[in-house]
Amino acid sequence: MKIGIVCPASLPATQFGGILFLGVDLARELSNAEHEVTIYTTDLDFANNSKTFNKKLPKEENIQNFKIKRSHVWFSIKLFFINPGMYFHMMNDEYDIIHTIGIRSFQSFIAALVAKKKKIPLIISDQGGLTTHPDLQNKGIWTKILYKMQLPIIHFIIKQSKKIITANEYEKKIFSELTNESKMEIIKNGINLENMKSSVSFKKKYGINDDYFLFLGRYHEVKGIDTLLHAMNLIKNHFLISTTKLVIMGVDFGFEKKMLHMIKEMNLADMVKIINNPPREDVLSAYNESKFLVLPSRWELSPLTPLEGFAFKKPTISTKAHGIPYTLHDKKDSILIEPENFEELSRMIIELLNDKTKCEYLGMQGYEFVHNECNSKEMAKKILKVYEKMIK
């Protein structure tokens, strides 16, 4: 089968997050199963910041058994990247099915156009928060206007699709307001367990002599970094924190300046380590050497970071916001608290630091969960069955 996968970003922009990894992992698994797979994407690089587009990246590149075809972004508005060249790449190629990931994107619009013109089945998945992301309600007037302008595009993409793959029931409910439920299929997101290896010694590389717990993600208000710092401020004098650090790893999406100001204002500099734009190998090593993860998000659809932590038997303290309880399981493989409740978060951090047995139990449950259910092999098998049905 010839498969075209479409997404706003791909390798080497690993900091882009879930959309990128779902596309790459799906391409890898399907190409290993002897299907011909091409990822169509932009030249987003993340070499210096979240808006770095690199013309020097190869226009076409073979990675393992699949291809990546990149076209240059002419301009961008927020995370809406305009790369018209992708349309011509896709029109010139032949494939049996198109799968686009990240609906609120120019790339998904192009995928829908090409699918319509070529009369090829279009499958869609979304990781970007179609209607529930806080930015849709909380941002300024121009951002709201931009989102309103995207609505006809989104409706066109959904109408053109033959199947909508959702990661959980929460996401299914979002799409059910826009189209018929018979069009949807729930397939859990999965991570590539074979790639969870690193030769880096994280603590040695970054000069960390203490134990640490880890935040990994975009520096954005929605990720709840401010809640985490308020929690740290409450427990900074606790004896367990005197020998434990918080490591914050990620890339700036508009919150770094405020984050650094909070750290300075609260006198947290000695107990918080900031690592910007980390290479993938360092991220994997950071998982491995951490005590546990903290993801105090105000919003998530189906987070992949905790699943990657599970691969290293590390539990996550997260929240009950939006789609998180549909991915993580409170008191089984994770600890879930109310969003923005930094007092409860501070207590749970101390609890896990103080209870090694509980930390190990939660981590092992998560490890079994990703090996049995939420891995890229299981995900790809189920998605391939969807492709086959649509082609027939």
Judgement on whether residues 203 and 110 belong to the same structural domain of the protein: no
215 and 339, same domain (yes or no): yes
Same domain membership, residue 177 and residue 40: yes
297 vs 227: CA distance, rounded Å: 9
The H or E element containing residue 82 is strand 80-82
Could you say which DSSP state residue 174 is in? H
Other C-beta atoms lying within 10 Å of the C-beta of residue 349: 26
Task: Give the orientation angle of helix 225-235 with respect to helix 256-265, to 10 degrees.
Answer: 10
Examine the domain organization and report whether 97 and 131 are in the same domain: yes
Domain containing 208 — which CATH number?
3.40.50.2000
The model's pLDDT over 39-89, given as tens digits with 9 standing for 90+, comes to 999 999 876 565 689 989 999 999 989 999 999 999 988 778 999 999 999
Residue with tokens 């930094």: 342
Give me the long-range contacts of 108-113 (CB less than 8 A, separation at least 24): 108/6, 108/153, 108/157, 109/153, 109/156, 109/157, 110/6, 110/40, 110/86, 111/4, 111/6, 111/40, 111/157, 112/156, 112/157, 112/160, 112/161, 113/87
The CA angle 257-137-251, to the nearest 5 degrees, is 30
Residue 250: which of 300, 215, 285, 287 has the closest Cα?
215
Number of structural domains, the chain?
Answer: 2
User: What is the C-alpha separation between 351 and 358, in angstroms, rounded?
Assistant: 9
pLDDT at residue number 392: 81
Instruction: Please list the alpha-helical segments (H only) found in the chain.
Output: 18-32, 85-92, 106-118, 135-138, 141-160, 169-176, 202-206, 225-235, 256-265, 280-289, 305-311, 342-354, 356-372, 376-391
Residues 6+ positions from 388 with CB-CB distance below 8 Å: 1
Q: What pLDDT score was predicted for residue 64?
A: 85
**Whether 72 contacts 55, CB under 8 Å:** yes
Its domain, for residue 288, covers 194-372
Based on the domain organization, do 177 and 198 belong to the same domain? no
Do 309 and 380 reside in the same domain of the chain?
Answer: no
Question: Residue 149's pLDDT is what?
Answer: 76
Do 315 and 382 belong together in one domain?
no
How much is the pLDDT for 24? 93
20 shares its domain with 154 = yes
Give the model confidence (pLDDT) of 280-308 as tens digits.
Answer: 899 999 999 999 999 999 988 889 999 99
Predicted pLDDT of residue 133: 60
- φ and ψ at residue 97, rounded to 5 degrees: -155, 150
Quote the pLDDT of residue 195.
85
Q: Does residue 179 share a domain with residue 159?
A: yes
- The parts of the chain modelled with pLDDT lower than 50 are none
Residues 162 and 226 in one domain: no
Residues 288 and 247 sit within 8 Å (Cβ to Cβ): no
52 and 67 both lie in a single domain = yes
Residues 72 and 201 in one domain: no
Q: What is the pTM of this model?
A: 0.87
Residue 247's pLDDT is 97
pLDDT at 140: 65
Could you tell me which of 312, 66, 121, 79 has the C-alpha nearest to residue 202? 312
- Residue 129 is predicted with a pLDDT of 61
Amino acid of residue 9: A
